[in-house]
Structure 1
Amino acid sequence: MLLNVLLLLTAYLLGSIPSGLWIGQAFFKINIREHGSGNTGTTNTFRILGPKAGTLVFLIDFFKGTLATLLPILLHAQGISPIVFGLVAVLGHTFPVFAQFKGGKAVATSAGMLMGFAPAFCFYLILVFTLCLYLTSMVSMSSVVAAGAAILGALLFPTIPFLLTNYDLLFTVIIVFLGIFVIIRHKENIQRIVKKEENLVPFGLNLTRQIKKK
């Protein structure tokens, strides 16, 4: 019991590492919260600090979700599903104790959690995200679509079966929760998409005809 409590706390602290904020302050003397969208996650880091910093932030945010999920397996803890530890890391990423509980939008760390618990399902969502990114040129739209695909996949795939061979109630509940959570976290992005004002990446088809900012 004590080991699980310590590992859950460790998972939260791992998730709470505000990589974008710390990298911006340490190497660029920039508080990323004061620029762009004000978010500390991967997309705003790419936009403000550049691709090298953005890639590093993505990798850190992704693998802290994976590591948190694997903690109980690596340390032979029993009684709590590894996905719960991953979920705690995602909540830490979103509400980080090291950054006044104002964190990212949960996408990269959620993906990392899935890589540690259900890698085939994770690769399916990466494919959905990548295809949508090419078609729309929007990270936000791709994140929302991938979140929706995660919900549908968790509910429908075990009936086929495809990627998920059977229903795991806890897994299904967590994926549905996180999918809805990610969509809600992108509420402002969705509003900009409707207005044709969302930020674009410099590639892809921009099928929704967002107005490119000069």
Structure 2
Amino acid sequence: MMKTMILLLIAYLLGSIPSGLWIGHVFFHKNIREYGSGNIGTTNTFRVLGKQAGIAVFIVDFLKGTLAVLLPIWLHAEGLSPVVFGLVAVLGHTFPIFAQFKGGKAVATSAGMLMGFAPLFCLYLIVIFAVTLYMTSMVSLSSVIGAILGMLGALLFPSIGFLIDGYDLVFTLVVLFLGSFVIVRHKENIERILKKEENLVPWGLNLTKQHAKS
């Protein structure tokens, strides 16, 4: 029990590492919260600090979720599913103790959690994300669509043996929660998309004809 509690704390602290905020301060002498959307996640880091910084932030945030899932497996912690530790890391990423509990939108760390526990399912969602991003030029919409299809996949795929072998109640509930959480965290983005005012990345087809701001 003590091992489990310690690992849950470690998972939260891992998730709480505000990579975008720290990389901005250390290497660029910028508070990323004062630029762009003000978010400390991957997308705003790309926009404000550039490609290399954005890639670094994505890798760190992704690995936070993966490590949180793998640690209880490696250390043989019993009593809780590894995805619970991944969920705690995602909550740490979103409400980080090291950044006044104001964190990212949970996408990269959630993907990392899936990679650690259900890699084929994660790769499927990465493909969905990439295709949607190319068609729409919007990270936000790609994240929301990935969340929706992730929830549907967690509910339907086990019944046909596609990518997920059998139903795992805890995994299904965590995916449903995180998918809903990602959508809620993108509420303002969804409002801008409906107004055709969402920020775009300089890649893809912009099929919805948003008015690019960056």
User: 1:158-203: per-residue Cα shift (whole Å, max 9, x none)?
Assistant: 1112111211111110000000000000000000000111011111
Aligned equivalents of 2:210, 2:123: Cα separation in 1? 28
CA distance in 2, matches of 1:213, 1:166: 44
Identical columns (%): 72
The runs of 4+ residues in structure 1 deviating greater than 6 Å are none
Q: Secondary structure at the match of 1:210?
A: coil
Q: Structure 2: give runs of 5+ residues left out of the alignment.
A: none
Cα displacement string for residues 18-57 of structure 1 (whole angstroms, at most 9, x for unaligned residues): 0000000111110000110000000000000000000000
Deviations 1:68-104 (A, max 9, x none): 1101111111111111100000000000000000000
Question: How many angstroms does 1:109 deviate by?
Answer: 0.1
CA distance in structure 2 between the aligned counterparts of 1:79 and 1:97, rounded to whole angstroms: 26
Paired residues in the alignment total: 214
1:171 matched residue in structure 2: 171
Cross-structure match for 1:57: 57
Aligned residue in 2 for 1:102: 102
- Say whether 1:5 aligns with 2:5: yes
* 1:198 correspondence with 2:198: yes
**Alpha-carbon distance in 2 for matches of 1:58, 1:212:** 23
**In structure 2, distance between residues paired with 1:213 and 1:8:** 40
Aligned-partner Cα distance in 2 for 1:55–1:212: 22
Query: Which residue number corresponds to residue 112 of structure 1?
Result: 112
- Say whether 1:130 aligns with 2:130: yes
Secondary structure class of the residue paired with 2:209: coil
Q: CA RMSD in A?
A: 0.7
| Aligned-partner residue type, residue 6 of structure 2 | L
- What's the counterpart of residue 30 of structure 1? 30
TM-score (norm: length of structure 1): 0.99
Unaligned stretches of 5+ in structure 1?
A: none
Query: Normalised by the size of structure 2, how large is the TM-score?
Result: 0.99
